[in-house]
Amino acid sequence: MRILQVMYYTLLEYIRDKQSMAMMVLLPIGLIFLLGNALSGGFESSEVRVIDVAFLNEDKGEISKHFETFLESEEISKLLNITLVATYEEGKSLIEERRVSALIHIDEDYSKQIVMGDEAKLNLLFTQGSVFTQPIVTNIVRAFNNEANKINALMMIGASEVAHLGRNFIEEEPVVEGGEKPTAMGYYAVTMLVMILMYGSMYTSDGIGSLKEESTGKRLKVSPAKSYQIFAGVTLASLVTVFAQGVALVFFTKYVYGVNWGPNIGITLMMVFIMVLLSSSIGMAVGTLIPKRRTTEIVITTVVPVLTAIAGGYVPVGNLEGILGKLQLISPNYHMQNALFNHIFEGDPVKMLNAIMTMIGTTILMFTITLIARRRYINDSI
């Protein structure tokens, strides 16, 4: 009960803190608008226009021929630049040399499987590259594949031919947001949301700092409420506040800026919640480990912009190499963005799950660090 009391009154304080609210909600709304408009040209020309793709067809069946025709169609030519390869190894080496972004591979039994009524798949292999290329190629291939399976099913119940394969499917299932390609606004909506959620860690660290340094914190500590109850109440209030700010940002950008937040808004919000858990746990660990509240504030306000930049929050950077690449992998922003982009643009579900699992794992690690550090902190008082 005391946890809820602490949470309720802390939440009231947070809600009434206009300065923090403005920073957490209005600032990203403004930044998304500015960056989204100022850098939209760069997005359209370099990131989305034509993707180099290797293509290997080992099937030789009717359906895969339709796919070849489909790849040569005018609509797809605008998106994909196809290089035919003779073997899987050749395609793989092109990827390793980064001469293509993806390899589309059709197995020898593809058409046969479809005709037999079995579920057939097209194989895809990607470079570790831009967040945009992968979802585009995946969507094209998936849409064709689904259509092939669907038409075959129709044939089995009396439909006549499969010649319509590939026609108009883009209209039925848009490749990416905004019809065909991701917008700069959509990109920055994700990266700025992630950045703001990371800044949200300051709520938790500051809440813990105030318990240590503020007169009100001392007053709470000498009350009959247990130390863990106060700690939990303050942390929960931070969590609810940051989540509400994240949700507000998602809905504002969705309905005012027209940003696409993916096929299932519920899943998007669930991801936001996981990210809030992660950022709050980081705030808890930092707030507990660093003795001075002011130092905590400096650390977070310095590190978050760096993590945002490394993850491509301000300018898309793709996958970095060397030490920056390693830094990128430990940047929570990188994993948060990966999870969201893969969900929104219907990219690789495995990558999305990996990013989510990384976030959950890091959250558990941060909680553990906090618990260990807190024992030290509690022992300092009675």
Partner 1 sequence: MWAPEQKKKGAKKMILSMKDVVKKYDQLVAVDNVSLEVKEGEIFGLLGPNGAGKTTIINMIIGLTKINSGEVKIFGLDMKKNEKEIKKNIGIVPQEIAVFEDLTAEENVTYFGKLYGVKRKIIKKEVEEALNFVGLWDKRKIFPKKFSGGMKRRLNIACGIVHKPKLIIMDEPTVGIDAQSRNLILESVKELNKKGATVIYTSHYMEEVEAICSDIVIMDHGRIMARGSREELKALIKAEDRVVIAVEEVKNSITKKIEKLSSVIDCTEKNNEITVVSEKNSGKLGKIIDLISNEGIKIMSVEVDKPTLEKVFLTLTGRSLRD
- 295 lies in the binding site for partner 1 (CB under 8 A): no
Q: Is 9 in the site for partner 1 (CB under 8 A)?
A: yes
Closest contact distance (angstroms) between CB of 219 and partner 1 is: 4
Q: How far is the CB of 298 from partner 1 (least distance, A)?
A: 23
The reply to whether 17 sits near partner 1 by the rule CB under 8 A is yes
Segment near partner 1 (CB under 8 A); pick from 129-137, 168-176, 220-228, 313-321: 220-228
Q: Is 216 in the site for partner 1 (CB under 8 A)?
A: yes
DSSP string, 228-249: HHHHHHHHHHHHHHHHHHHHHH
Q: Is 232 in the site for partner 1 (CB under 8 A)?
A: no
CA dihedral 179, 184, 186, 190 (to 10 degrees): 150
Q: Which is nearer to partner 1, 164 or 221 (CB)?
A: 221
C-alpha torsion sign, points 169, 43, 191, 124: positive
Q: Is residue 219 involved in binding partner 1 (CB under 8 A)? A: yes
Distance separating alpha carbons of residues 138 and 178, to the nearest angstrom: 17
Tokens of 12: 């009231």
Rounded to the nearest whole angstrom, what is the least distance from the CB of residue 200 to partner 1 in the complex? 18
The site that binds partner 1 (CB under 8 A) totals a number of residues, namely 21
Residue 220 lies near partner 1 (rule: CB under 8 A): yes
As separate numbers, helices (DSSP H) first and strands (DSSP E) second, the chain gives 19, 4
DSSP string, 143-172: HHHHHHHHHHHHHHTT---STTTTSSHHHH
Q: For partner 1, which residue of 224, 266, 302, 323 counts as binding (CB under 8 A)?
A: 224
Instruction: Please choose, out of 12-20, 131-139, 269-277, 344-352, the segment that lies near partner 1 by the rule CB under 8 A.
Output: 12-20
| Residue 268 near residue 262 (C-beta atoms within 8 A) | yes
Considering only residues 13, 58, 107, 297, which one is a binding residue for partner 1 as defined by CB under 8 A?
A: 13
213 contacts partner 1 (rule: CB under 8 A): no
Between CA 152 and CA 35 the distance in angstroms is 46
12 in contact with partner 1 (CB under 8 A) = yes
Residue recorded with tokens 């394969």: 165
Does residue 218 interact with partner 1 by CB under 8 A?
Answer: yes
Using a 10 angstrom Cβ sphere, with 0-12 exposed, 13-18 middle and 19 or more buried, the burial of residue 101 is buried
Catalog residues that contact partner 1 under the rule CB under 8 A: 2, 5-6, 9, 12-13, 16-17, 214-216, 218-225, 381-382
